Chain A
Amino acid sequence: MTSFPAILRSEWTKIRSVRSTVWTLALTFVVTVGIGALLSLLTNNNFTEFRRSDQSPFDATGTSFSGIMLGELAIIVFGVLAIGNEYSTGMIRVTLAAVPQRGTLLTGKATVLGAMALVVSVVTAFVTFFLGQALLGSHATGLGEPHVLRAVFGAALYLTLLCLFSAGVTTMLHNQTLALGVLVPFFFLLSPILSAVPKVKTLAHYFPDYAGSRMLLVYEQHGQPYGPWTGFVICLAWTLAALVGGALVLKSRDA
């Protein structure tokens, strides 16, 4: 068998030696931190106006994470590119000739990808949180408040899981363009729209992004079907299913 640490090293070299993957990760950080900071600043400056009609408690954590909807797109693209560029360039054949144990290969890829996404996501989440709180001034919250630390780590896990989910789906579709064409509209349009439509939303509430985003909530929301930990489990289940599906396709298919 090909050694697993060797696969990890090799996959790490692959990811870091291409600009597009590095850039999408950088973009995840910039977009999430930047939009969060902007929204926090605006909220602080126009607090009474923004909050006039809102009866629920003010979620300072959620405000600082306003940019995550766009940040997640960048990390989804990262997950797609890291796997998909092997297919778009024909490199997958070179890879599989070097490492014919396909299940082990995908495990190695997902490990490297997941570790990179996790590191970037944790840094992004904490920077986003602290910068956002600093800009919220007197309306800010702290990591010591109930559920806040969980929500910040939740944001990091949310981004990491979506990245791995996308990687799994890309392996299943074995086509970079197709994967982008399916995943980006799904997460950016379809899922948010469906989760607002009556009846359909019961189903949409079990989509990976809706489920995963429950991890970010500090306050119980009215009409919320389940709590943050159930949300985490549902999102994790989607991610594992996508990766297992990807492994099955990779193992059975001619490269």
Chain B
Amino acid sequence: MIELHDLTKRYGKTLAVDRLSFQVPQGVVTGFLGPNGAGKSTTMRMILDLDRPTNGRVTIDGRRYGQLSEPLKYIGALLEAKSVHPGRTARDHLLWLAQSNRIPTRRVDEVLALVGLTPVARKRARGFSLGMGQRLGIASALLGDPEIVMFDEPVNGLDPEGILWIRNLMKRLATEGRTVFVSSHLMSEMAVTADHLVVIGRGRLLADLPMPEFIRRNSRSAVRMRTPHPERLLDALAGAGIRPEPGPGGSYEVVDGDLARLGDLAAAHGVVLHELSPQQASLEEAFLQMTADSVEYHAGDGPGRDAAGAPGVWGAGWTADGTRQSAAARQEEN
């Protein structure tokens, strides 16, 4: 198990990682999510003892990485694609890696077959595509048959086939009882692969919870209603015991509302509707909302996000300790 205690990394004046504490649960896929520049890669490098923490510590099965003898047998990692000498063959790359940790040579050919690189095993890495480079990186991560595997943005730049392959691989590794810790800046990617979710922004922990819990909290739906006669609509709704929330552009939204029933209700009261539409908050939006305060550079302000329908984000704003920001606070942000 990977455990982080108050892990902190400072580069000059910037805090890349800020008192990060969490555990990566065993035997499941844990998604490590955060916007670009949130400190995911730095955290992963500190786990491998490549970067030294300014403060705090990381342990793997209770020990520091540097204390592991033959660490590839405990934890295999894919950091960046193409950390391979272009003039070396795929097989030789895996061979030196295997020899350094006394892993039998037979295993080199096994992992080559596993990632589908056997046909190009004796080709120099120079000619490899991004996808092949990624597969080679994954082969080296699996070389020591480790209990824990760690992938940093493994699907970046891959074609759909490659993405699907990595998704299935991660799921398979978890069903084999391995711990999979994978970083991404895409919620949509994590939603389909991760069982557990750790979200960070600006180096700080924003959420640490099981994926189903995250979905349950963040995937409520609503019905949006727009009318030239708001008073009459509000009266009609109040008469039925429904309390709408104000939506964008003078519309109203009924959380968990039933489309047909609300349409009937408006008709029964003779209220003219200009819009009656179902709204689904995507997990992506929930994630954006959660990390909105912590992204380094906004791509522009409010209007762009509103146009994309961002106001329909409900239940976002979960903080690290699981408490919920008040609706009023969120309203102010908007």
Contacts and interface: CB of A to CB of B under 8 A. Distances in A.
B102 interface: yes
Nearest to B75: A97
Interface string B31-51: 000000000000001001111
A156 to B, nearest CB: 27
A9 B92 CA distance: 12
Given A91-B83, A100-B71, A255 B51 contact: yes
B79 A13 contact: no
Interface stretch (B93-101, B164-172, B186-194, B323-331): B93-101
Contact of B69 (A1, A11, A85): A1
A99 interface: yes
Contact of A20 (B68, B80, B87): B87
Contacts of B99: 6, 9-10, 13
A22 B69 CA distance: 31
B102 to A, nearest CB: 5
A10 B51 CA distance: 23
A97 B68 contact: no
Interface in A92-148: 93-101
A17 B97 contact: no
A46 interface: no
Interface in A65-104: 85, 89-91, 93-101
Contacts of B86: 89
B22 interface: no
A255 B45 contact: yes
Contacts of B93: 17
A7 interface: yes
B45 A100 contact: no
Given A17-B92, A255-B45, A10 B85 contact: no
B48 A97 contact: yes
Interface size bucket, A side? 20 to 34
Given A1-B69, A10-B97, A98-B97, A18 B45 contact: no
B100 A2 contact: yes
A94 B98 CA distance: 12
Contacts of B71: 2, 97-98, 100
B interface secondary structure, majority: loop
Contacts of B101: 2, 6, 98
Nearest to A91: B83
B120 interface: no
A116 B49 CA distance: 30
Interface in A1-58: 1-3, 6-7, 9-11, 13-14, 17-20
A254 B41 CA distance: 13
A6 B92 CA distance: 15
Interface in B42-72: 45, 48-52, 65-66, 68-72
Contacts of B83: 89-91, 93-94
A95 B77 CA distance: 12
A16 B102 CA distance: 19
Contact of A2 (B70, B79, B96): B70
Given A2-B100, A14-B96, A98-B101, A93 B87 contact: no
Contact of B96 (A3, A13, A19, A20): A13
Contacts of A6: 99-102
B82 interface: yes
B88 interface: yes
B45 A93 contact: yes
Contacts of A17: 88-89, 92-93, 95-96
A224 to B, nearest CB: 43
A94 B48 CA distance: 10
A91 B51 contact: no
A94 B66 CA distance: 14
A254 B100 contact: no
A3 B102 contact: yes
Interface string B199-217: 0000000000000000000
Given A19-B87, A89-B83, A94-B97, 17 more contacts: A2-B71, A7-B100, A10-B96, A10-B99, A10-B100, A13-B92, A14-B85, A89-B84, A90-B80, A90-B82, A94-B84, A97-B48, A97-B79, A98-B101, A99-B100, A101-B66, A255-B50
25 contacts: A2-B69, A2-B71, A6-B100, A9-B100, A10-B97, A17-B89, A17-B92, A17-B93, A17-B96, A18-B85, A19-B87, A20-B87, A89-B84, A90-B82, A90-B83, A91-B83, A93-B45, A93-B79, A96-B48, A98-B100, A100-B71, A101-B66, A254-B45, A254-B51, A255-B51
